[in-house]
Structure 1
Amino acid sequence: MSQPDLHTTHQLPSERRIIAEIWPALLASALGLLPFTVLSTFLVPIADWAGAGYAETGTLRGLAGIGAVLAGVALAPLIGRIAPGTVAAAALGLMGLAAIVGTFSGLAALAVFCLATGVSNALLYPALSTAAADRFGTTPAAGRAATLVMTAQTLASTVGAPLLVLPALFWGWQGNLVAIAVLSIALIPAVLRYGRRGAGHAGDTPAPARLGYLAAFRTLAGVPGARALLLVSFGRAGAFMGHLAFLAPLYAQKFSLDANWFAFVWSVSGGAFFLGHLLAGRMLNTEDSPARTRAVMVISLGISLVALSGVYLAPVLPLAVAGTAVLSASHAVVSAAVMSLLVSRCTQVRGTALSLNAAGMSLGLFLGTAASGAALAGSGYLAAAAVLCALTLVALASALTLRTPSPAKTLERQP
């Protein structure tokens, strides 16, 4: 049966049914972001507990980025060779152990916590997205399932901090980490069952071949547009995360916002990203429409350039907040579009593609934050904005190089 026939003969399941199929992945995705949410929310008491300065403790988060990039690149083909549910279960186990280590006193324990959590996330999210997509074979529902996994992550980033504050009043931030460890271990059996290959709706579609380590990279390199999509992710993550890293001081200096009022701005940004990702994932995966997905991605990157400039040049607070919301929503749409195109194009090497995509975003986060921070220190906020715009242009130029080959040609180039 040809690829076009596969798309036309499958009736798309409802979103409720997709969620019912992949609920373990959604829970694990939301849980994976909580360890670092604890670190960010309770940075002051954690630093005091470790006997270190706040800046010194906060910079340990960089170890997570390093671990994520190295693990994401080095272990990417293994997500194709090993059942993704097994990889996700191992990542949950590592995250649980890291959370327990994080309760120990001292910078060394926190360094291990950050590094191990970064490695676990580098494995967890690509594996969960791959397992979700594999349950629906090569139908458009595969892309929707994968984007829902990342939507759950964005929801956790939006509501995670408020939800963690209340239980911490009873058992402290250490209790939060212990609870995360318990939930991580408890989810392992469900993730293992959910992530078995050949489950769900993919039963009439052959499971992807388990390629060798180097063969997985070679196969991915032969997928039309794969490298361009990975560059889009790198540039987008660098621009967006570099922007978020210094958003609080920008609002404090330009509009004299204190921490309480900035929390509202942060919620607006997180809410816009969540809604943008949720709606884009639904819109872009209702039918096989790679041309439309590419067009939406290009338009959203253009909008993000305008919104980014607006945030830094806005003369009044309401315009800056509106620009922040539009910027977050447009980046969410681009993120969902990249995920949808990678899932649909890289059917033979989904795990490898999604792992490298996550590693590219981690690298973009690290370089985008470092470059914009250096520009800010040297020449102020407009220089930082110029760096972020340059990273957005990298993503836009890469998106413009994408073509929309026929599904048959895509399959021919994937052995």
Structure 2
Amino acid sequence: MSVDAVKNPAGNEADEPLPGDLRMARTLWPVLLASAVGLLPFTVFSTYLVPIADEAGSGVAAMGGLRGLGGLAALLVGTALAPLIDRVPRRWAVAGGLAALGLSSALGASGDFLLLAVFCLLVGASTSVLNPALTAAAADRFGTGRAAGRAATLVTATQSMTAMLAAPVIALPALIWGWRGDLFAVTVLSLLLAVVFVLRREDTSVADETASGGQRLGYIASFRALGAVRGVVPLLLIALLRTAVFMGYLSYLAAFYEERFDLDAGLFAFVWTLSGASFFVSNLLTGRLTNAAEPRLGTERLLFIGLLAALVSVVGFYFTHWLPLALALTSLHAASHAVVAACAVSLVVRRCGPGLRGAALGINAAGMSLGVFVGAALGGAGLGLAGYPGVAAVFGALVVAAVGAAVLVLRAGPARKEAEAA
């Protein structure tokens, strides 16, 4: 099978009218629900870190360090299994990820330190397969054109909404059954959704048909094929760098507001809500606008503009001493990252056909896991060496590198031209 055939089996980018969001949501409800459930285990772990550490007879620092195991597992497993996501039916990949997620949550509910370590490893490993499989499955349901890109961004928008609302959602039930009950609830939801995906045979996609009996690329050939798709490697690099900047920035956000504006944890919660809401709304709207039938601005150009906004907002943020301006820059920075995230996912989905889409999204997820570590480490180094101006310099340099990668994406040409060339 040729690389071109894998890139876009249809030979062109579909021009079908873009379905409404509600229609897409009704079609994709199991995918969207599963993407939300995938964020819950680590949200419970982070929210109830202190009582979990007490139960395990461990210090908070040691218990919190276990979270890093999840990121490490996501990086290694996500990279290793990325090409395999396209070699099995999507519903089986999703069901397997959900089953592993449910098992990990049950182990975490034990409160044992060793089992909590296994919990962190399994959650990281399972989500490294689950998230790209869900995004690819959503895109596959709507072909290879802009509707596929919009479906993929609906998954990311749902995840950003869940990240914003998950803490209060899990906190209320925990008043009745505690953090263990939350994890057991995740176990039940995960296993029920796994059954739903196994039984939904009518959702067989192009990728499922290929995995069931058609020709497919080998393991190493999948990596080579990804490298041959114009613009995809720079897009994956942008995702890594963007994540490093945003997650590193969030790691030190509370400390910055406390030190410079004397905001305590209670007041800072409103700042966090502002950032989360800005990201969600921007991600949702960008996914819709960039995948419209006749977008006013090309996705590649909007990606470039989003990175420029991220550069201005992250550098300016660390030099402001006026609270209203800091809040405005916080909102702008979150919104600009949401624009970049939605554009990058849309372009990856539209440039890679169903036979290569899962591998691209898997590597994208693994790169983002790496970005979390890179951002926190480099941000801490900048803070230690030169204070907040050092943080601004580090994150600014990372965004500049992402802007350089965006230039390569622009030079590769629009996704439509890539599809027509195939």
TM over 0.5, shorter chain: yes
Seen in structure 2, the aligned counterparts of structure 1 residues 411 and 355 have a Cα distance that, compared at 3 Å, is farther
What is the TM-score with the length of structure 1 in the denominator?
A: 0.93
- The residue number in structure 2 matching 1:404 is 413
Q: Which amino acid aligns with 2:277?
A: G
Asked whether the 8 Å contact 1:99–1:178 carries over to 2, the reply is yes
- The residue number in structure 1 matching 2:364 is 357
- The residue number in structure 2 matching 1:390 is 397
- The residue number in structure 1 matching 2:310 is 304
Q: Are residue 228 (structure 1) and residue 269 (structure 2) matched? A: no
- The residue number in structure 1 matching 2:57 is 51
Q: Are residue 66 (structure 1) and residue 75 (structure 2) matched? A: no
Q: Are residue 116 (structure 1) and residue 125 (structure 2) matched? A: no
Q: Deviations over 1:44-89 (max 9, x none)?
A: 1111111111122112111111111101110001111011211111
Q: Are residue 366 (structure 1) and residue 360 (structure 2) matched? A: no
Stretch moving more, 223-232 or 372-381: 372-381
Q: For 1:197 and 1:68, locate their aligned partners in 2 and report how far apart those are by CA, in whole Å.
A: 27
Identity of matched residues, %? 46
Q: For 1:301 and 1:209, locate their aligned partners in 2 and report how far apart those are by CA, in whole Å.
A: 39
2:330 equivalent among 317, 324, 334: 324
Q: Deviations over 1:299-353 (max 9, x none)?
A: 1110111111222111111111111111001000100000000000011300000
**1:211-360 correspondence to structure 2 within 5 Å:** 211-287=217-293, 292-347=298-353, 348-360=355-367
1:176 equivalent among 170, 182, 187: 182
Q: For 1:39 and 1:364, locate their aligned partners in 2 and report how far apart those are by CA, in whole Å.
A: 21
Q: For 2:152 and 2:220, locate their aligned partners in 1 and report how far apart those are by CA, in whole Å.
A: 25
Q: For 2:301 and 2:192, locate their aligned partners in 1 and report how far apart those are by CA, in whole Å.
A: 42
Q: Which amino acid aligns with 1:394?
A: A
1:150: how far off?
A: 1.0
Q: For 2:128 and 2:384, locate their aligned partners in 1 and report how far apart those are by CA, in whole Å.
A: 30
Asked whether the 8 Å contact 1:84–1:131 carries over to 2, the reply is yes
Q: Are residue 163 (structure 1) and residue 186 (structure 2) matched? A: no
1:85 equivalent among 75, 88, 91: 91
1:99 equivalent among 97, 102, 105: 105
Asked whether the 8 Å contact 2:13–2:420 carries over to 1, the reply is no
Secondary structure of the corresponding residue to residue 384 of structure 1 = helix
1:32: how far off?
A: 0.5
Q: For 1:5 and 1:353, locate their aligned partners in 2 and report how far apart those are by CA, in whole Å.
A: 19
Secondary structure of the corresponding residue to residue 313 of structure 1 = coil
Q: For 2:277 and 2:214, locate their aligned partners in 1 and report how far apart those are by CA, in whole Å.
A: 36
- The residue number in structure 2 matching 1:380 is 387
Seen in structure 2, the aligned counterparts of structure 1 residues 2 and 259 have a Cα distance that, compared at 3 Å, is closer
Secondary structure of the corresponding residue to residue 77 of structure 1 = helix
Stretch moving more, 185-194 or 291-300: 185-194
- The residue number in structure 2 matching 1:186 is 192
Seen in structure 2, the aligned counterparts of structure 1 residues 127 and 361 have a Cα distance that, compared at 3 Å, is same
1:361: how far off?
A: 0.7
Secondary structure of the corresponding residue to residue 82 of structure 2 = coil
Q: For 2:180 and 2:102, locate their aligned partners in 1 and report how far apart those are by CA, in whole Å.
A: 13
Q: Which amino acid aligns with 1:388?
A: F
Q: For 1:5 and 1:116, locate their aligned partners in 2 and report how far apart those are by CA, in whole Å.
A: 39
1:379: how far off?
A: 2.8
Aligned length: 410
Q: For 2:296 and 2:71, locate their aligned partners in 1 and report how far apart those are by CA, in whole Å.
A: 31
Q: For 1:33 and 1:313, locate their aligned partners in 2 and report how far apart those are by CA, in whole Å.
A: 33
1:26 equivalent among 23, 32, 49: 32
Asked whether the 8 Å contact 2:241–2:399 carries over to 1, the reply is yes
CA RMSD of superposed structures (Å): 2.4
1:412: how far off?
A: 5.9
1:408: how far off?
A: 6.3
Q: For 1:85 and 1:217, locate their aligned partners in 2 and report how far apart those are by CA, in whole Å.
A: 23
Q: Deviations over 1:140-164 (max 9, x none)?
A: 1100111101111101100000111
